[in-house]
């Protein structure tokens, strides 16, 4: 049995992927409220029912859009030497796609419901992000590594796991401030936090 | 002309206040999803239409519930010598009322829409909170005042306004983590952040 899907199933997967790419572009371009199912369906030449045939619900479609976005962002993480700097790059990019910031934040709250498709997504994504950040922060204390910024580290300094959780929280909270007031600069405060908390090797 | 409302208008205000207190209790007790308009109406002995007569919409009712909650929390801020410590107390209390955390977070995202009643509320509340925190942080550097925790302050250290924005962002972001995973401790990371960033006088 081939591990490559073929025939109608492969076509279905390809169509689903095409829908996700279009939906991601529509949300990024038209904003969360502009990204109706009708708008996304029009973009890929399907009826609304035809589009939803590929997903169990509108919520599942939106969670899959976030996963698709993560795949793009993961390239930033893979290309960066330093996951903490990659986080700052992603946050800077997010300021140009407020529709995706709103989609992410809406789904982050919807994830409170264990039955919602966003629940598992946010638990996995959070754990993976914090793990990646914490490993980078831990390596700061290894001699000759890291790109730590603080000339004098605070004492007491939070451990790597706590700092990782705080970076995630600050990034998510700054997104809420940015949604409410688009003039809010998300990058400068997050950069200040990184500069204050990272230890010089 | 009296500044005290009288007659039917005063009765209307009193009834509205009664509804808000009940709604706050229902959300705190039954959670966001348990706090339907029907549940709140039952609690105050009104029909759903009768209850909504006192508000322009369900969204306005929910924003007013948040304002009513702030009035309670403001007592914590007024009784505390230190607004930063008061924030930690409020966050600790919030862990016992996840329904209110969810209501707050939902409205924080809804506030992205300038037409939504939550928009003005979140802009005002955020500015007022950051102002109060920044004044406390500024007074840390005055000799003989403050309750600063860092034995060694980080260098570079963020200014008071940036630290205030980061404390707000971290508290809001930790609430999202807590909604997704109720075992998450919101207080310990926020305490670690305060301890790391406050300057000793």
Size of the A and B interface in Cβ pairs below 8 Å: 158
Residue B158 DSSP label: -
pLDDT value for B101: 96
Q: What are the tokens at A200?
A: 């010089």
> Each residue of A72-84: pLDDT tens digit?
898 888 888 899 9
In this predicted structure, the answer to whether residue A147 has a pLDDT above a threshold of 60 is: no
In this predicted structure, the answer to whether residue B145 has a pLDDT above a threshold of 80 is: no
pLDDT value for B139: 86
> Each residue of A77-113: pLDDT tens digit?
888 889 999 999 999 999 999 999 999 999 999 999 9
Asked if the Cβ–Cβ distance from B154 to A156 is below 8 Å, we say no
CA distance A12 to A51: 11
Residue A6 DSSP label: -
A173 touches chain B (CB under 8 A): yes
Global ipTM? 0.90
Asked if the Cβ–Cβ distance from B152 to A150 is below 8 Å, we say no
Asked if the Cβ–Cβ distance from A109 to B113 is below 8 Å, we say no
Which residues in chain B have Cβ-Cβ distances shorter than 8 Å to A172? 169, 172-173, 176-177
Which residues in chain A have Cβ-Cβ distances shorter than 8 Å to B119? 180
pLDDT value for A150: 54
B111 touches chain A (CB under 8 A): yes
B195 touches chain A (CB under 8 A): yes
Q: How confident is the model at residue A145 (pLDDT cuts 50, 70, 90)?
A: very low
Chain B, nearest residue to A190 by Cα: B166
- What are the two backbone dihedrals, phi and then psi, of residue B152, each rounded to the nearest 5 degrees? -125, 120
CA distance B59 to B115: 11
> Each residue of B19-62: pLDDT tens digit?
999 999 999 888 888 888 999 999 999 999 999 999 988 999 99
Q: Which is more confidently placed, A16 or B147? A: A16
> Each residue of B107-123: pLDDT tens digit?
999 999 999 999 999 99
Q: Which of A176, A183, A191 to mutate to test the interface with B (most CBs of B within 10 A)?
A: A176
The label of the residue with tokens 């169509």 reads A15
B87 touches chain A (CB under 8 A): no
The label of the residue with tokens 């790391």 reads B196
CB crowding B128-145: b at 16 or more within 10 Å, else e = ebbebbbebbbebbeeee
CA distance A170 to A168: 6
The structural domains of chain B, ordered by start, are: 1-54 (1.10.10.60), 69-197 (1.10.357)
Q: What is the 3-state secondary structure (H, E, C) of B87-144?
A: HHHHHHHHCCCHHHHHHHHHHHHHCCCCCCHHHHHHHHHHHHHHHHHHHHHHHHCCCC
Q: How confident is the model at residue A146 (pLDDT cuts 50, 70, 90)?
A: very low
């Amino acid at each position: 049995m081939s591990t490559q899907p073929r025939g109608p199933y492969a076509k279905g997967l390809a169509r689903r992927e095409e829908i996700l790419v279009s939906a991601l572009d529509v949300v990024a371009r038209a904003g969360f409220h502009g990204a109706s199912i009708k708008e996304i369906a029009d973009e890929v030449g399907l009826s609304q029912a035809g589009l939803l045939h590929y997903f169990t619900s509108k919520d599942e479609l939106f969670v899959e859009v976030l996963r698709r976005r993560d795949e793009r962002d993961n390239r930033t993480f893979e290309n960066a030497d330093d996951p903490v700097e990659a986080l700052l790059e992603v946050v800077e990019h997010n300021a140009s796609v407020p529709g995706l910031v709103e989609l992410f934040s809406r789904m982050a709250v919807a994830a409170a419901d264990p039955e919602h498709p966003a629940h598992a997504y946010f638990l996995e994504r959070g754990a993976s992000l914090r793990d990646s950040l914490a490993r980078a922060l831990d390596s700061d204390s290894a001699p000759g590594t890291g790109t730590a910024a603080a000339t004098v580290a605070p004492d007491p300094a939070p451990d790597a796991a706590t700092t990782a959780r705080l970076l995630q929280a600050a990034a998510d909270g700054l997104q809420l401030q940015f949604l409410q007031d688009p003039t809010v600069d998300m990058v400068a405060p997050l950069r200040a936090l990184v500069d204050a908390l990272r230890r010089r090797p």
